[in-house]
Structure 1
Amino acid sequence: MAVLFGVGADAPCFGSGGLNAPAALWAVCESALCVSLCVGLLTLFREAVTGGGRVSRELAADSYAVYIVHLPLVVTLQYYLSGRGLSAAAAWTAVSGAVVPAAFLLAAGLRRLPGFRRVL
C-alpha cells in the first residue's frame, strides 16, 4: 500500500481492470489491505478493549447479525442517494451515520424473535 500512496492511484502500474499485470497488482493491493485491516482491527480491539459493560456485551452479541443485515441496508440507502448529487464524502457520511445504528437495532430486534437467537 505504500506504493499506492507513493505513486498515486492513477499511476500506470495500477490498472483499471482487465486481464493484465496492472490490474492484478491492484487486486493484490486491495486484498492485502483488506486482510491487513481485518486482522489488525481484530487484534487492536482484542488488546485494547478488555472491559465490557451491558451495552458493549449486547453490541458484541449482535455483531454477527449486523454482519449479515448491514449489506442490504447499505445497498438500499446508497441506491436511494445515488441521484441526489451528493459528494462521495457526504454520501459515505450519510450512509454510515444511518446504517450503523439501523443495523444494530435491526440485529437486536431479529435476535429477539423466536428461532433467530440460535442462528444469529
Structure 2
Amino acid sequence: MIGADADCFGPGGFNGPALAWAAYDSALCVSLCLGLLTLFREAVTRSSRLSAELAADSYGVYILHVPLVVAMQYCLTDRGLFPAAAWVTTSVFALSAAFLLAAALRRLPGFRRVL
C-alpha cells in the first residue's frame, strides 16, 4: 500500500508505530536542518548584493510566508491541478510574493527595526 494509508505510518495514538514514526520524522527534520545549514555555510562562501538583500528579508519572509501559502493553496483548491503542479505554483508565487512583500515592508518607516 502506498500513501497515507501505508502500514509504516501507523494508526496514530499512544502506541509503538506512532512513537517510531514521530521519532523518525523529528530526527529527519533536525538532520535536514543541520545538514543544509552546514552545507550552505561550507559551500556558499561568496556574497552578492542580491544575497545580502534576500538575507535581510529572511525574517520578514519567515513571518509572511505562511499566510501567503495558505491563501495561494485556497485559491488553487478545486482547479483540477495535479498535486505536484499545485505545489510548484504555490512555491513559486508564494515565495516570490513573500520576498517582495518583506522587502517592501522593510522600506517603510518603523518596519526596518522589526523586520
Same fold by TM-score greater than 0.5:
yes
Over aligned residue pairs, what C-alpha RMSD do you find? 1.6
- Pair 1:26-2:21 in alignment: yes
In structure 2, distance between residues paired with 1:76 and 1:31: 27
Partner of 1:4: none
Matches of residues 52-71 of structure 1 in structure 2 within 5 Å?
A: 52-71=47-66
Partner of 1:40: 35
In structure 1, distance between residues paired with 2:8 and 2:100: 43
Post-superposition shift, 1:27?
1.5
Kept in 2: contact 1:14–1:25 (CA 8 A): no
Post-superposition shift, 1:78?
0.7
C-alpha distance after superposition, 1:68-116 (max 9, x if no partner): 1001100111111122121211110110111111110011011111111
Partner of 2:45: 50
Identity of aligned residues (%): 68
- Pair 1:86-2:90 in alignment: no
Runs ≥4 in structure 1, deviation > 4 angstroms?
8-11
The number of residue pairs the alignment matches comes to 113
Tell me which amino acid in the other structure corresponds to 1:12: D
Post-superposition shift, 1:12?
2.6
Gaps of 5+ in 1: 1-7
Partner of 1:14: 9
Kept in 2: contact 1:13–1:25 (CA 8 A): no
Q: Choose 13-22 or 66-75, whichever is displaced more.
A: 13-22
- Pair 1:107-2:102 in alignment: yes
Q: TM-score, normalised by structure 1?
A: 0.85
Gaps of 5+ in 2: none
In structure 2, distance between residues paired with 1:23 and 1:61: 39
In structure 2, distance between residues paired with 1:104 and 1:60: 10
